[in-house]
Chain A
Amino acid sequence: MMANLPFIMVALFIAIGLYAVLFKTNLIKIVMGISIIESAVNLFLIAGGYVKGGIAPIYTSAPEGEEMVLPTPQALTLTAIVIGLATTALLLSFVVLIYRHYGSIDSRKIRGLRE
């Protein structure tokens, strides 16, 4: 049970992010919810590559004979973090555009089409 804690935190973070995306009306908070879900997925990948008692996969002054954690999920997570950053920047700039156009970032007030 306790050993599964990273996976349980993944489930919790995904639920929190989903709640924010579904319930919040402030667009910036929706973007934050999406970011939380992204972090949960990254945590899932990293936890999947963990090896019991493993050290970081770097040979510089590494202790002899220790097993290393799997490097592939870490490399993929690096990609995922950068792409998450890019999408978050793009989402936030859409929010800025919406604010300039409607004068509000409340998703209930920007439903109607406007000139």
Chain B
Amino acid sequence: MRRAVSALLALLIFAYLFGVLLKAPIPGDYRDERYNYYSPLSGREANESVPDHYVERGEEETGSQNIVTSIVVLYRGFDTLGEVTVLFTAATGVAFLLSTQRSKGEKEKKKEPNFMASTGVGLVLPFILLVGAYIFVHGHLTPGGGFPGGAVIATGFVLMLVAYPRFQLREKKVSVVEAFSGLAFAVIGLISLIMGLTFLENYLPKGVAGTLLSAGIIPLIYIAIGFKVGSELSAIVSHMKGGEE
């Protein structure tokens, strides 16, 4: 009975969405219908829709090669600050829920580390951390950025937890890293207020486009986000595994 009702509801929703989305413009086609207009602000004929503005002028305005990065960090940097806050709140919630109520007798036996796993992790771990750092340092040049880079670094800690059953994250030190990187993000934004710009506006030289030291504050912010996300995800995994004794 329950199966029939839920299947019926799911089918209804599917039929509804199917009908609506079949009539929706086909992805990629709708841009043929747009029109250009004369913009008095820029003094030229252009389609001033927001994504077109980002694609056409984003590179010269921010110095970043990756337009998605320039949107995430500069144009909508305040949004990203909120996003980091949401992640922080969730990590705090997981820590609160899973570390306060440890029931007794649930402690799993600590096994000896598997030789194959520990040797393999010892070989691979430095490269994983290196790739993670590469991804968030090059966020303005290549696909990637602080969030994927931090996730890659957190997988390194997950590997350590898998290979060494006795391995424990030093949660105090991790939370110090997390706090300081979050503070760095906010302080970078506040400095632009001090310099008379809007919050999180670029104040550093943009440099030569396409080089590592370019795009002003974007790499700095993404390094801070990378450290923050990496430490938060590692802390979440560590709490889910059982946390510090």
A70 vs B56: C-alpha distance when bound (angstroms): 11
A87 vs B91: C-alpha distance when bound (angstroms): 10
Q: For residue B91, which residues in chain A have a CB less than 8 angstroms away from its CB?
A: 86, 89
A22 vs B85: C-alpha distance when bound (angstroms): 31
A4, A10, A78, A82 interface centre (most CB from chain B within 10 Å): A82
Partner of B97, one of A18, A60, A97: A97
Partner of B67, one of A4, A57, A87: A57
Partner of B26, one of A3, A49, A97: A3
Q: Which of B15-23, B125-133, B181-189 contacts A (4 or more CB under 8 A)?
A: B15-23
Chain A minimum-CB-distance residue to B7: A19
> Is A50's CB under 8 angstroms from B54's CB?
no
> Is A14's CB under 8 angstroms from B13's CB?
yes
| Known contacts A71-B54, A72-B71, A94-B97; is-contact A8 B28 (Cβ 8 Å) | no
Partner of A97, one of B68, B98, B106, B143: B98
Partner of B27, one of A7, A56, A93: A7
Chain B minimum-CB-distance residue to A88: B90
Partner of B147, one of A10, A82, A92: A82
Secondary structure dominating the interface of A = helix
| Known contacts A4-B26, A15-B10, A52-B29; is-contact A83 B83 (Cβ 8 Å) | yes
| Known contacts A3-B26, A72-B54, A72-B71; is-contact A57 B66 (Cβ 8 Å) | yes
A51 vs B68: C-alpha distance when bound (angstroms): 15
B contact residues, range: 35 or more
| Known contacts A22-B9, A57-B68, A93-B98; is-contact A15 B147 (Cβ 8 Å) | no
8 A Cβ contacts from A61-93 to B: 68, 70-75, 78-79, 81-83, 85-87, 89-90, 92-93
> Is B236's CB under 8 angstroms from A89's CB?
yes
Chain A minimum-CB-distance residue to B237: A89
A31 vs B110: C-alpha distance when bound (angstroms): 29
8 A Cβ contacts from A20-46 to B: 22-23
Distance of B55 from chain A, by nearest CB (Å): 5
Partner of B90, one of A60, A75, A87: A87
Provide the B209-223 mask, 1 if CB < 8 A to any CB of A, else 0.
110000000000000
Q: B72 at interface (Cβ–Cβ under 8 A)?
A: yes
> Is B10's CB under 8 angstroms from A16's CB?
yes
Chain B minimum-CB-distance residue to A72: B51
Q: A110 at interface (Cβ–Cβ under 8 A)?
A: no
> Is B143's CB under 8 angstroms from A56's CB?
yes
* Cross-chain pairs A/B with CB under 8 angstroms, 29 sampled: A1-B22, A3-B26, A4-B22, A4-B24, A4-B27, A7-B27, A10-B21, A15-B17, A22-B6, A23-B3, A50-B28, A51-B31, A57-B54, A58-B67, A59-B65, A59-B66, A72-B50, A72-B51, A72-B71, A78-B145, A82-B83, A82-B86, A82-B87, A83-B83, A83-B86, A89-B91, A96-B97, A96-B98, A100-B103
Extra pairs beyond A78-B68, A93-B98 (8, CB < 8 Å): A6-B27, A7-B27, A14-B13, A58-B65, A82-B229, A83-B86, A96-B97, A97-B97
